[in-house]
Structure 1
Amino acid sequence: MISMKISRRPLNALVVKRLLSGQTSPKRSETEALRAPTLKTTSLPSGLIVTSLDNRSPITRIGVIVRAGARYEPQDQLGLSHTLRSMAGFSTKDSTVFGITRNIEYVGGSLTALTTRDDVIYVLENDGNYTDRNLKYLSDTVLQPAFKHWQIKDNLYRQKADLSYYRDSPQLVLIEALHSAAFRGGLRNSIYSPDFMIGKHSTDQLADYVDRHFVSNRTAIVGVGIEHNQLLERVDKWFSTMSRGDRGNSGQSKFVGGEARVDTNSDTTYVAVAAEGVGSKNQKDVLSLSLLQTILGTGPRVEFSDGSHTKLGEAVAKTTSEPFAVSAFNINYTDTGLFGITVAASAQDIHKAVKAAVTQLRASAKSISEEELKNAKHSLKATTLLAAEDQNVLVEELATQSLNAGQVVSLTDYEKAVDSITVQDITGLANKIVKSKGAMACVGKLQNAPYLEDLL
């Protein structure tokens, strides 16, 4: 009888081993390909943090993250980070917009920028053979933007297009309104420029903002698809002139709670209800709330599913026969966060739907079974691993962890941390949340939308 064993090794590892089985001395390049990805972090004397993930990818991605997001904008210069983001790739003191665009695109590369309330992130992607050549343009964009007044004017259409997209996305309007109601201070600032500030940011204001915030101890640089020593050499070559010292706004914020209501003519009404969450530096609490979020439900995961199989979905489905959407969310900033639920339903059913979702949140805060926690852990780890397959998401996550914690948690350590969370960890934190003051935002036809006092 021939016995058979089921291998638990990855299929690609088995294939590679089979291809090499007839060779006594594999080539160096093939040996290199068999090595596991290497994750390393170095904190430089300047305060700059450098992290690399050498995964042998032919594409190299370099991300520069700076703690200069919307929360750090002066109150009389709201929208500065929006202007900064939309002008990435414009002329610098050493390079023209034509030179940056032509040289990066000529080799099939790309340069993108995004902002959050905490950070501004620039990402360069290209064939690894052209990384050193293109890093000049990434460095120029980050360290030496020119902000020429005619290019600021030329950029207005981009910002107006951003605002048009934002206004047409009720989910985005909802989240921005929720922050406006929930916080006092920097986190109240929107990542979109107010209408009245479009075209009002001057060359001097933008240059001063960069000078104050784009400093080494507010910055991290990450590379995916590059060896660590090579990345350190390139950082020394292209970013060694970065200023030191911290002269930026503190971005101090306080959760105060409250309501924001935005009337529109939409047939669907959107509501978000939240309490103060936790900051990203507290890994245990972040994971506890992430597991609670998973237990409650984050919407459908299968195409054409209505999402009614989740705890929140089951609760809301009993209140309406119309289409609806409901999900839990967990937003984490450096020092605080938001945890809550979003509900979208018809205008006539929105009050009942939100009430049912909030009731389910309170019930789950008191009682979570071991089986529910076990399933949530499997789901959360799978979601994280799948997200890490997207290299752009991976760069952003590595950059954020590097800047916030000075190091990056490996996936193995992450899984161990998830497994260490207990039911008591979750319910203890959840009960504090449901008993604390709340914040709420509503967007759509609001004649039947609840008020915060209706839900307490």
Structure 2
Amino acid sequence: MANSAAVSKIPLFRTLAARGYASQPAVAAALKSGDVQTTTLPNKLVVSSTETGSAISRISVAFKAGSRNETHDNLGAAHIIRVAAGLSTKHASTFGITRNVQQVGGSLSVTADRELLSYTIEVTRDNLETALQYLEKSVTGQLFKPWEIADSTPRVKLELANVSNQVRAVELLHQAAYRTGLGNSLYCPDHKVGKISSETLQHFFESNFTANRGAVSGVNIDHQMLLGYAQSLQLGSGEGAKNDNKYYGGADVRCERGGKNASVAVATNGAGWSNLQEGIAFAVLQRAGGVGPATKWGQSAGVLVKAIQAAAPNTGATTLNASYSDNGLFGFVVSGPAKEAGIAVEAGIKTLKSCSPSDEDIARGKAQLKSELAFIYETDGSLVQELGVQGIVYGNTLTLKGCFDAIDAVQAGDIKSAARKLSNKVSIGAVGNLEHVPYAADLN
């Protein structure tokens, strides 16, 4: 079984003879490849599916249970629950889950970000029955036995030790920008490792793993069968955690580590995906700013990255657009020699606050965004995740054509209007040798 955590995210766009979902009628005709069916159950659980023709079926169960839902008392709970995926539940032991999933050649994984925790099973179509049973047994009725959680502590420590300075800078940036809620890290704080009790995890699980906060998505699975499966899931109800999404701005969170290099993340208030048009505008603006070379050994064509690297040639840079359901951050991340850090940050801030993308930049940004979405929809593993995200954020889902139409509907004026909002106060997260890294107060 696999576990992974994600920093950002770009939030868009056989019927079986088994138990409760066995009685669901088969569809009259095969779903046209690319079409997406979405249904909201009476308990508010959103169910979506599509067909790509692959021999592998993928089903994901996601909940609004990311780190933004943590409080001061249970910081790190989402990270520990992600690591605990596949451990004993009320319905199966760790050995039973592992053995039965592997016996059918399946793969059970869990991913997490600030908003969602998502459990995904991948298996050949003819082994769906067993795979779905153990996906359900893994997701519902989690127990968090103290000795199993304790045995997971070394893994948590290893993950923390492997966090790169660039990722850590982005984590600190969120803390500076939001303080709590979206400011909570994807990773368990060092001082909480091994100290989060089973009762704390159980409370977080029961509060946030509820039907009205969840979505079930499937690729290469009959929609009626998936509906029956979703209806069979024993999920509670409740509003779950309420958290802050206010952007404060003007703050720094710095981690001085010495050495010869520095990684700095700088951002101002961006946009959330609750406003699709504005969310797309910032996504296009990110590509216009530059997200790395499109060809091996190539250079970024983005205006923001060009400006930073012209001032600090030995520094790597990329445009940052961290969009969530109700808010976001927009800025850049630089990493390189400590002596160039200040120059790189100042050049980035100057370009960010005077950003006025040309029509050519906007056209390139739209083309790159469409290309990235096409890759997501073409890859079943990423598609099943995307459908789950859209289901939770919008209560509905988009086809690839629907995504393209939404991008085309955003005009150059909308994108330039988004660019004008980048003159607000910035926040900074920095890691490494920070001697030359300016403070936010000196830049606002």
Contact residue 60 and residue 128 of structure 1 kept, 8 A: yes
Unaligned runs of 5+ in 2: 1-28
Report the AA paired with residue 346 of structure 2: K
Report the AA paired with residue 138 of structure 1: L
Unaligned runs of 5+ in 1: 1-31
Aligned equivalent of 2:312: 320
Q: Deviation at 1:358? A: 1.9
Q: Deviation at 1:306? A: 4.2
Aligned equivalent of 1:236: 231
Contact residue 86 and residue 159 of structure 1 kept, 8 A: yes
Contact residue 54 and residue 228 of structure 1 kept, 8 A: no
Distance 1:318 1:54, change over 3 A: closer
Among 90, 93, 98, the alignment partner of 2:95 is 98
Report the AA paired with residue 216 of structure 2: I
Among 260, 267, 276, the alignment partner of 2:260 is 267
Identity of aligned residues (%): 34
Q: Deviation at 1:209? A: 1.5
Distance (Å, rounded) in 2 between the aligned partners of 1:68 and 1:253: 15
Among 404, 410, 414, the alignment partner of 1:415 is 404
Among 173, 197, 209, the alignment partner of 1:214 is 209
Aligned equivalent of 1:433: 422
Q: Tell me which structure has the larger Cα radius of gyration.
A: 1
120-129 or 421-430: which moved more?
421-430
Contact residue 47 and residue 217 of structure 1 kept, 8 A: yes
Aligned equivalent of 2:109: 112
Q: What pairs with 1:170-249 in structure 2 (closer than 5 Å)?
A: 170-237=165-232, 239=233, 241-246=234-239, 248-249=240-241
Distance (Å, rounded) in 1 between the aligned partners of 2:121 and 2:31: 26
Report the AA paired with residue 333 of structure 1: Y
Report the AA paired with residue 391 of structure 1: D
Q: Helix, strand or coil: the match of 2:74?
A: coil
- 1:157 aligned onto 2:163: no
- 1:280 aligned onto 2:281: no
Which 4+ stretches in 1 moved above 3 angstroms?
32-35
Q: Deviation at 1:222? A: 0.3
- 1:129 aligned onto 2:122: no
Q: Helix, strand or coil: the match of 1:85?
A: helix
Distance 1:213 1:371, change over 3 A: same
Distance (Å, rounded) in 2 between the aligned partners of 1:163 and 1:360: 33
- 1:80 aligned onto 2:80: no
Among 381, 384, 400, the alignment partner of 2:373 is 384
- 1:346 aligned onto 2:337: yes
CA displacement, residues 192-228 of structure 1 (integer Å, 9 cap, x when unaligned): 1111111112222212211111111001000011121
Distance (Å, rounded) in 2 between the aligned partners of 1:253 and 1:368: 28
Paired residues, number: 415
Report the AA paired with residue 70 of structure 2: E
Distance (Å, rounded) in 2 between the aligned partners of 1:205 and 1:276: 32
Distance (Å, rounded) in 1 between the aligned partners of 2:78 and 2:407: 34
Distance 1:317 1:147, change over 3 A: closer
Q: Helix, strand or coil: the match of 1:318?
A: helix
Distance (Å, rounded) in 1 between the aligned partners of 2:325 and 2:31: 37
Report the AA paired with residue 218 of structure 2: G
Distance (Å, rounded) in 1 between the aligned partners of 2:353 and 2:179: 26
CA displacement, residues 106-150 of structure 1 (integer Å, 9 cap, x when unaligned): 121111112111111111111111112121211122111121111
Q: Deviation at 1:56? A: 2.3
Contact residue 85 and residue 114 of structure 1 kept, 8 A: yes
Contact residue 104 and residue 131 of structure 2 kept, 8 A: no
Distance 1:212 1:305, change over 3 A: same
Contact residue 309 and residue 316 of structure 2 kept, 8 A: no
Aligned equivalent of 1:62: 59
Report the AA paired with residue 268 of structure 2: A
Distance (Å, rounded) in 1 between the aligned partners of 2:103 and 2:229: 21
Contact residue 377 and residue 400 of structure 2 kept, 8 A: no
Q: Deviation at 1:35? A: 4.3
Report the AA paired with residue 352 of structure 2: L
Report the AA paired with residue 201 of structure 2: L
Q: Deviation at 1:301? A: 2.1
Distance (Å, rounded) in 2 between the aligned partners of 1:319 and 1:339: 21
Higher relative contact order (CA 8 A, sep 6+): 2
Report the AA paired with residue 249 of structure 1: A
Distance (Å, rounded) in 1 between the aligned partners of 2:57 and 2:106: 10
Q: Deviation at 1:446? A: 1.0
